[in-house]
Structure 1
Amino acid sequence: METVATDPDGRRERRPTVLDVLALEEIDRDLYRSTLVFTDPFPLYGGQVAAQALYAAGRTVAPDRLPHSLHGYFLRSGDAARPTVFRVDRDRDGGSFSARRVVALQGGEVVFSMSASFQVPGAGPDQQVHETPQVEPAGTLPVMELPRLFSMESRRPPQPYDGHFPTRFWARATVPLPAEPLVHACVLTYLSDIGTGLSALPEDEASPGPTIDHALWFHRDARLDDWVLMDMVPRTVSGGRGWYTGSISTAGGTLVASFAQETLFRPGRNPFRPGR
């Protein structure tokens, strides 16, 4: 995918980064529009529109309120070659929490809807019940391509399941990110939708299709220009839908986010499995 973006001075073109993905133009109060457009043979990547929606919502809350969860529904295929408009509804601002709803529109139709909640960080216990998977450090592992992601790199450790697309891998942004926690939460959201935890399922029975919904919980702060480990676990398939869960942890083994995703799961060969 050959893509270029224009610098703010308008005179120089360059390859875009994840920060270009998050560059939203404010059209009016609570109304934003994406500025990065590019030709892509596939529908708009879900992690992109989810990250942009979270960033739009985050711009409407107080700076000390950080995202702690989001729940999104993918309603129509989007087009990366046209801007997406994000409309934010301010449902409530309480003493510690702020609730927002966002719809992402193209051509006057909703392609994605999301509810997000933000919280003033609170004091209390900090416990992690289960250890993160034990894998080799990223620097010792082979490079793995992350398709469709701008300025993100990855490393592939040994896999817990057979399959073409790995369900466990290291990743990080290749550009320095600002210290703003909202930016790192949005980059984590951008990453969380890549691949599928259902690639490990039998190759001849059915195949993962488009994503239906995506939920993400932010437990702790993390820098996404440092290595994080993404681990996806297939859970169940029923009624033409497949569901899996995932976790994102730091290189030190700290769990920073958990997510769950449901996709259509249709009869037919699983394209994520290698041919026999």
Structure 2
Amino acid sequence: MTTHSTAHPSLHDVLRLDRTEEDRFRSRLVYPDEKPLYGGQIAAQALVAAGRTVGEDRSPNSLHLYYLRSGTASRATEFRVQRDRDGRTFSARRVVAVQDGKVIATASCSFGVAASGPDIQAASAPEVPGDPEDFPVYPAPRMFGLDCRLPPGPRSAEWPTRFWARAVDAPVGDGLMRAATLTYLSDRSNGLGGLDLPVPVIPASLDHAIWFHRRVDPADWMLMDLVPHTLSAERMWYTGTIHDRSGALAASLAQELLTRPRAPRTS
């Protein structure tokens, strides 16, 4: 199976998977990286794998994923899909992500047909004055095809809890590709920047959930807002939202982090 390594990968490269068997897929992109494989990439690719086994009339409505082992970007990941159910309205899939014969993540995904009915958004999007393009760039060296910008105001230099983002090379496609783009973005930063931590910690994702509410254009600016709720027993839980530029709630997310104290540097 051919894999591709490039100095300048695109979002299309990230989300493109090869079908190796009827319900098995393999990522095409590998690249050198000293850090563990970005969790948003695993989640987005798992969603794409699951979505390629459901009917074209169904789009993602949620994903729940557990990170079990650190992956590496220098090796391709295999995604094994289990077809749990296909009902008249919803389809359920389970996905196992594997590297070198070891499971690095498991996911459950739900897909549904388009439906009509009331469209109610209980809370407004956070107010962020100014134009995103005028704000400084939020560097994302391990995330490809995304332009992230930091609005003014109090923020953590390492883990900002509010920023704008857009896909600069969004794959042209259906609701699956749009949802996968939001999933790829959803693991960027975390809620740690909203806490007054007594000691620095090293965050590692334990599990991740995202719900898709409304279709948006990922090529337009989206506001990501993260809210910490609790930290105890070295586990931190936060929630978040992704709104489009008009203020429509596109997706909600929740994640638990392992937050072990960072060892002091030695001279």
Please give the range of the TM-score, normalised by the shorter of the 2 chains: over 0.9
The answer to whether 1:228 aligns with 2:215 is no
Q: Is the 8 A contact 2:159 2:192 kept in 1?
A: no
Of 38, 49, 53, 2:46 maps to 53
TM-score, normalised via structure 2 length: 0.93
What is the rounded CA distance, in whole Å, between the counterparts of 2:253 and 2:183 in structure 1? 9
Give, in angstroms, the shift of residue 14 of structure 1.
6.4
Tell me the amino acid that sits aligned with residue 207 of structure 1.
V
The answer to whether 1:239 aligns with 2:233 is yes
The answer to whether 1:187 aligns with 2:181 is yes
Q: Is the 8 A contact 1:235 1:243 kept in 2?
A: yes
| Residue correspondence of structure 1 range 88-167 to structure 2 within 5 A | 88-135=81-128, 136-159=130-153, 161-167=155-161
What is the rounded CA distance, in whole Å, between the counterparts of 1:143 and 1:249 in structure 2? 19
| Equivalent position SS for 1:198 | helix
What is the rounded CA distance, in whole Å, between the counterparts of 1:88 and 1:224 in structure 2? 26
Q: Is the 8 A contact 2:12 2:170 kept in 1?
A: no
TM-score, normalised via structure 1 length: 0.90
Give, in angstroms, the shift of residue 161 of structure 1.
4.6
Q: For this pair of structures, how many residues does the alignment match?
A: 262
What is the rounded CA distance, in whole Å, between the counterparts of 1:267 and 1:143 in structure 2? 28
What is the rounded CA distance, in whole Å, between the counterparts of 2:58 and 2:156 in structure 1? 41
The residue aligned with 2:79 is 86
What is the rounded CA distance, in whole Å, between the counterparts of 2:264 and 2:87 in structure 1? 46
Identity percentage of aligned residues: 50
| Equivalent position SS for 2:193 | coil
Give, in angstroms, the shift of residue 209 of structure 1.
2.0
The residue aligned with 1:214 is 208
Give, in angstroms, the shift of residue 142 of structure 1.
2.1
| Equivalent position SS for 1:119 | strand
Q: Is the 8 A contact 2:16 2:28 kept in 1?
A: yes
Q: CA RMSD in A?
A: 2.0
What is the rounded CA distance, in whole Å, between the counterparts of 1:163 and 1:23 in structure 2? 32
Gaps of 5+ in 1: 7-12, 272-276
The residue aligned with 2:22 is 29
Give, in angstroms, the shift of residue 249 of structure 1.
0.4
Superposed CA offset, 1:225-264 (max 9, x none): 1110001011101122000000000001000000000001
The residue aligned with 2:168 is 174
Superposed CA offset, 1:170-203 (max 9, x none): 0011114314111110011000001111123224
Superposed CA offset, 1:31-65 (max 9, x none): 00001001001011100011000000000000110
Gaps of 5+ in 2: none
Tell me the amino acid that sits aligned with residue 21 of structure 1.
V
What is the rounded CA distance, in whole Å, between the counterparts of 1:202 and 1:71 in structure 2? 28
| Equivalent position SS for 1:143 | coil
| Equivalent position SS for 2:47 | helix
| Equivalent position SS for 1:48 | helix
Q: Taking structure 1 as reference, are residues 267 and 144 closer, same or farther at Cα in structure 2, changes over 3 Å only?
A: closer
Tell me the amino acid that sits aligned with residue 81 of structure 2.
V
Of 42, 59, 66, 1:66 maps to 59
The residue aligned with 1:274 is none
What is the rounded CA distance, in whole Å, between the counterparts of 2:13 and 2:253 in structure 1? 24
Tell me the amino acid that sits aligned with residue 252 of structure 1.
S
The residue aligned with 2:34 is 41
Q: Taking structure 1 as reference, are residues 163 and 16 closer, same or farther at Cα in structure 2, changes over 3 Å only?
A: closer
The answer to which of 262-271 and 150-159 deviates more is: 262-271
